[in-house]
Structure 1
Amino acid sequence: MTNEPMPSSRIASIDIMRGLVIILMMLDHVRERFYMHVRTGDPIADTIEPDLFFTRILTHFCAPIFIFLAGLSAWLYAHAKEGEFRSPSRFLFTRGLVIILIELVLYYLVWADSFPKYLFLQVLWAIGLCMIALSVACRFNYWVIGALGFLIVLGHNFLVPIDFEPGDLAYIPWAILHDGGELGQVGPLTVSLSYPSLPWFGVILLGYFAGPLFAQSTKALTRQRMLVGIGVACLVLLLTLRGFNIYGETLPWEVQDTGIETVMSFINFTKYPPSLDYILFTLGFGLPLLAWFESVKKQNSVLDLMQTFGSIPMFIYVLHLYVLLAAYWVLFLIFGPTQDERYGLDSVLWIWIGAGALVLIHYPIAKAFAAYKHREKRNKPWLSFF
């Protein structure tokens, strides 16, 4: 670890971390596109084989880390120069609306062939809503923001028993905030929400609250130690709450017939909505990893790839979904349906091979677009949305 102040340019460790999230998303979307014949469930079904289970667990890190970094990036936007503040409200509000629009239009079109009668509101919907909410909350006192973030993340599992039936006045607001589910019909489409926004709002608030760790006045060694310390504290709290089945997860873990099955039971957390244990687990490992990325003294090709992806995350996110859609139909036309009515892979290994190929295909495109964005962003502000 070094003890140098932060440079004034883009923070490489954040881009690298965001790039890792994009790669894990690619892995998950290969699974969703080509392995739909095996449903994982939430929490993950106990009948799932270990290779698929741990593949799915790895992709659990995507949403909490990405949303935490979104909050952190909002603080950095507000404090672009030491000692000066610019309100991020307009930036957050407009970006949130654009992300929701991408969810409603581009993301729906990607999956319209699989779910023609459903409009699923998923991670982009949650990120967009959280950004819009943060555009208001960022005006609060800094310590109020932190307290509210901790209160939501630590306390939202107490809200699990609250339930409303379709038709109740509070059903739709509560579904959007905490429970998810079907919201109703819009023409021929059934609108279904799988990413309730309240817990994610807590995560983005904590990301904003963590912003001063990345201030130019904060030494790198101090920041790295804090990130590692917070991560370890998350994991210690997780081991305590989960180990004794005290709080933080609705599904208790149990000792199984084998060690690997016991581990699977222990880390089988609820994602929709994200339980406290889920958030502690993902951020508990993610924050020390963020510190480690900063401490790496010599850049290599892998980190360069991750940093490139992380500097243009929305562009790569949208692009790879359409590449996967095209790849699916090409393979379907060549091989026909291999899993019931769909084309599907026959092993988890092929999910990893497909994700690796997807990463390699996108890297030169990402490199070119990143160079274009960073060269033209002052003249073309719309590039900031990518």
Structure 2
Amino acid sequence: MPEIPPPPARSRLLSIDALRGLVILFMLLDHVRETFYLHHQVPDPMVAAETPPELFFSRLLAHLCAPVFVFLTGLSAFLYASKQPDGRAAASSFLWKRGLFLVLLEVTVVNFAWTFQFPPAKVFLQVIWVIGLSMLALAALVWLPRKVLIVLGIVLVAGHNLLDGLHFPAGHVLHVPWAVLHDRGWIELSGALKLRTSYPLLPWIGVIALGYAAGPWFLAGADAAQRQRRLLAWGAGLLAGFVLLRLLDVYGDKPWTAGDTALASWMGFFNITKYPPSLLFIALTLGVGLLLLRAFERRQGAAWLAPLAVFGAAPMFFYVLHLYVLKFLYLGAEAAWGRNQGTLFGFDAMWMVWAAAAVLAFALYPAVRAFAALKERRRDIAWLKYL
């Protein structure tokens, strides 16, 4: 069989796809953990004193995924608009249609991959849901002036922790909208079905807005050196802000505590809240993400970037594929070896999670490569761009 060439990077910066591909692999690691290491559950935020370091830092790596996905979604929306004759109108229309598609995908195909229940008793509204809702919000926000969009993004990211103490009990008229926007919880639709708002929306609207506002840095005519300076300045600035706020320990996340050892103290320092993403969570993850984006751009000729870019060129295809592969692998393992971890089948050590994730990445690569090449080759097939 002839080798399928990787999709060319003429229509997008290789660094963007490579960064998306890297966090996809981190996501794969985390989902292998959730499939085969669930007998060692971790809350949010983690309990640093009770979490083994190898589990803690594996989970910390996965924290990069959602912020980078959402930021790059906004960035990609701007680049899409820049290539259309009607610009914002085209972007708004695409964001609206793809946002609705992702919301529908989450509550059907994706939720079934996690639960294998039909009809479902529980629907978990997770990252695909929040990306879809963020796109719906951005479909309206693209009409704002860029400066207003930047201010709005900063206010939502930096200010939403002021609302942490606001809660509405079940039955209150504001319980459902607030559970969707900011307060992670359950929404009971009936006695047989309830929804879990795993990813509250409000701060993610800020992240996608900032991604869209960063779009002009990546236009074809933009100065590459200036773009890299901006990525360095903003990335380093976000990390410096994270360190300063964490040391002051007065705003942006729950207080941290020093441990009995230096390692335990470092774990406490980096133990941040994801649901909803705190200011410190976003500052740390987007800071690292922007610096990685700069590093990848400066090494676009490196051979090791190409496989990452392949994963990043077909993110939704990989997302759905790997969830079903993991579910069938789990069912097969449970049938073969039984429930060796109480009520679950699971691995005995975290290194086995890493090993399984590496094997799966290599195993799934050919299918992702073929689909990415198909997307690039058949731009006339409209539905392919949704994956």
For the pair 1:94 / 2:97, whether they are aligned, the reply is yes
Contact 2:29 2:357 in 1 (8 A): yes
Contact 2:134 2:205 in 1 (8 A): yes
User: 2: distance between equivalents of 1:299 and 1:9?
Assistant: 19
Match of 1:298 in 2: 301
User: 1: distance between equivalents of 2:247 and 2:310?
Assistant: 39
In structure 1, which of residues 152, 169, 174 is the aligned counterpart of residue 156 of structure 2? 152
Letter in 2 for 1:106: V
User: 2: distance between equivalents of 1:212 and 1:235?
Assistant: 23
Match of 2:6 in 1: none
User: 2: distance between equivalents of 1:219 and 1:336?
Assistant: 58
Show CA shifts across 1:35-85 (max 9, x none): 111111000123111110000000000000100000001111111279966
In structure 1, which of residues 137, 140, 143 is the aligned counterpart of residue 141 of structure 2? 137
For the pair 1:217 / 2:226, whether they are aligned, the reply is no
- Aligned-pair identity (%): 44
In structure 2, which of residues 40, 44, 47 is the aligned counterpart of residue 45 of structure 1? 47
Letter in 2 for 1:90: S
By how many angstroms is 1:120 displaced? 0.7
Show CA shifts across 1:184-220 (max 9, x none): 1346222111100000011000101111111222211
Unmatched 5+ stretches in structure 2: 1-8
In structure 1, which of residues 22, 25, 49 is the aligned counterpart of residue 24 of structure 2? 22
Decide whether aligned partners of structure 1 residues 86 and 219 sit closer, same or farther in structure 2, where only a CA change above 3 A counts.
farther
Alignment size in residue pairs:
377
In structure 2, which of residues 273, 276, 280 is the aligned counterpart of residue 277 of structure 1? 280
Contact 2:180 2:201 in 1 (8 A): yes
Match of 1:4 in 2: none
Contact 2:88 2:142 in 1 (8 A): no
TM-score by length of 1: 0.94
Letter in 1 for 2:293: L
Match of 2:346 in 1: 344
Letter in 2 for 1:180: R
For the pair 1:55 / 2:58, whether they are aligned, the reply is yes
Match of 2:4 in 1: none
Show CA shifts across 1:17-41 (max 9, x none): 1111111110010001111111110
Match of 1:195 in 2: 199
Cα RMSD (Å) of the superposition? 1.7
Show CA shifts across 1:85-109 (max 9, x none): 6530110001001111110011111
In structure 2, which of residues 114, 121, 129 is the aligned counterpart of residue 125 of structure 1? 129
Match of 1:240 in 2: 244
Letter in 1 for 2:168: F
Return 345-354 or 116-125, whichever deviates more.
Answer: 116-125
Decide whether aligned partners of structure 1 residues 335 and 30 sit closer, same or farther in structure 2, where only a CA change above 3 A counts.
same
Contact 1:175 1:181 in 2 (8 A): yes
User: 1: distance between equivalents of 2:108 and 2:32?
Assistant: 20
Match of 2:181 in 1: 177
Contact 1:238 1:280 in 2 (8 A): yes
For the pair 1:66 / 2:65, whether they are aligned, the reply is no
Show CA shifts across 1:225-255 (max 9, x none): 1101101100111111111102100x21122
Residues 328-339 of structure 1 correspond to what in structure 2 (within 5 A)? 328-339=330-341
User: 2: distance between equivalents of 1:108 and 1:81?
Assistant: 34
Residues 242-257 of structure 1 correspond to what in structure 2 (within 5 A)? 242-249=246-253, 251-257=254-260
By how many angstroms is 1:127 displaced? 0.5
User: 1: distance between equivalents of 2:35 and 2:300?
Assistant: 37
Match of 2:3 in 1: none
Match of 1:267 in 2: 270
Decide whether aligned partners of structure 1 residues 374 and 120 sit closer, same or farther in structure 2, where only a CA change above 3 A counts.
same
Match of 1:104 in 2: 107
